[in-house]
Amino acid sequence: MKYILVWVLIIGTLFGAKVKALQWKEGQTFSEYLEAQNIPLDVLSDVSKDDQKFLSDISSRQSFYELKDENGTLLQALIPISEVMQIHLSKAKTANKYLFEIIPIVYETDEYFGKITLSNNPYSDTLNTVHNKKVARRLSSALKGVINGKKLHKGDEIDFIYTQSTRVGKPYLLPDIKIARVRMGKKEQYIYVDEDGDGFAQTGKAVAYTVKGKKKVVYTKRVPVSSAESRFGMPLRHARITSSFSYRRWHPILHRYRPHHGTDFGARRGTPLLAVNDGIVSFSGRMRGYGNVVKIKHKGGYESLYAHQSRRRVKRGQKVKKGQIIGYVGSTGRSTGPHLHFGLMKNGRWIDPMKVLRKKSIKTSRLKKFTKYEDVTTTKYKNVAIKGVKENKAKLLRYVQDNAPCYVWEE
């Protein structure tokens, strides 16, 4: 209250002193304002660096107040830098010196009653009756969503209660509409207004809140088939089978029946031989009737054999990749002509290679189900009572019953 009393004391002791409401000029600096009032700039030397930062926070067209004597000398000025703080510039009584300080903005908040009779629309009729643009705007906003404007007619009445802050007798900050009642002929509708200025037809409102939790998510993903068989390719780029796997085959050289643990591929001498899968060379050398041989161990218990080579290109212990050249077609060992004898073992037993080899070097895959738990935020709603609805409704009815007049603001 001491800042209100500052004004009262000066007005009471200085004949002819007047308070005047002005608007801050666009682009004007605080230094320029001081020069316009013939105030020495050395007043700023007493202003701390922290307070000097606020000098640039004065908004263009900001309302502020001056108190001047009958000669036009500035006695005091109150210049807002925010909704709650202001610059207080005052002339010392004993010397031609000015004091600078930043103080809270002091304002009063009171309750007011308004009533209008519609002749046009809620906004313009409220403005013409109450003479307060902010009240008209806030009331119109509260009515939206509750009252259908097309159903309003000339002669309908609106009663409402609101609070308004004042500073030096003038409206300050936004008003708060508390409650309104619209009377449309024999019907009436109450509008209950929350702290945000939103109107509701009921005494409660739906308020959103979030709940954090876990959500089980089942999804499918394509993954490579784990079976090693699916990854085997052919040992030659152009495969031509001349003799298949058999447990009883007529041997063209020995002239008797005996097992043929592999598949023979016909090819020209020097044709590159390819590793059928990734692996490690387990043997590279000569092997009885097989001649030059390369054996490769693969994952899954598989071991491949490439016989009758003219020349070997890999050594024992060497890692090889699928499709890598490991030797060349020949006719070494017990052979009737250039060809590849290809054998394949699974866990130490010979198997038919053609049940594993694929003519195209492809990687097969399959869809596999996976389960994971994701963090989720769920939005829920709960009904919350609007603050003060009973008290505000009772107050509004008392104003109406007492035939209270509508408060009109000075323009």
Per residue in 204-232, pLDDT (tens digit) is 999 999 999 999 999 898 777 655 555 79
> What is residue 357's predicted lDDT score, i.e. its pLDDT?
87
CA distance 40 to 88: 16
Q: For the chain, what is the mean pLDDT?
A: 89
Across 109-123, average pLDDT: 97
What is the per-residue pLDDT across 52-99, written as a single tens digit (0 to 9) for each?
888 888 998 888 999 999 889 999 999 999 888 999 999 988 777 899
Q: What is the pTM of this model?
A: 0.55
**From 108-112, 159-163, 203-207, 253-257, the region with the lowest mean pLDDT:** 253-257
CA distance 159 to 116: 7
> What is residue 251's predicted lDDT score, i.e. its pLDDT?
61
Report the 10 Å Cβ neighbour count for 158: 24
Q: Which of 6-20, 183-197, 253-267 has the highest mean pLDDT?
A: 183-197
Write out the DSSP string of 151-219.
G--TT-EEEEEEEEEEETTEEEEEEEEEEEEEEETTEEEEEEE-TTS-EESSSEEEEEEEEEEEEEEEE
Across 264-293, average pLDDT: 95
**From 75-89, 291-305, 363-377, 392-406, the region with the lowest mean pLDDT:** 363-377
Q: List, in order of start, the domains of the chain with CATH numbers.
A: 2-106 (3.10.450.350), 109-203+387-401 (3.10.450.350), 228-355 (2.70.70.10)
Token pair in block for residue 233 = 């390719």
CA distance 155 to 147: 16
Across 154-168, average pLDDT: 95
Which of 259, 257, 272 lies closest to 311 in space, CA to CA?
272
Across 362-375, average pLDDT: 78
Measured distance between the N- and C-terminal CA atoms of the chain, rounded to whole angstroms? 26
- pLDDT category at 4 given cuts 50, 70, 90 is very low
Write out the DSSP string of 214-283.
EEEEEEEEEEE---GGGG---SSSS--EEE--EEEEE-TTT-SEEEE-SEEEE--TTPEEE-SSSEEEEE
Q: Which residues pair with 117 in a beta bridge?
A: 157
Token pair in block for residue 102 = 């930043």
* Model confidence at 331: pLDDT above 70: yes
- The bridge status of strand 279-286 relative to strand 319-320 is antiparallel
* Model confidence at 270: pLDDT above 80: yes
Q: Which residues pair with 214 in a beta bridge?
A: 375
* Model confidence at 7: pLDDT above 70: no
**From 12-26, 286-300, 326-340, the region with the lowest mean pLDDT:** 12-26
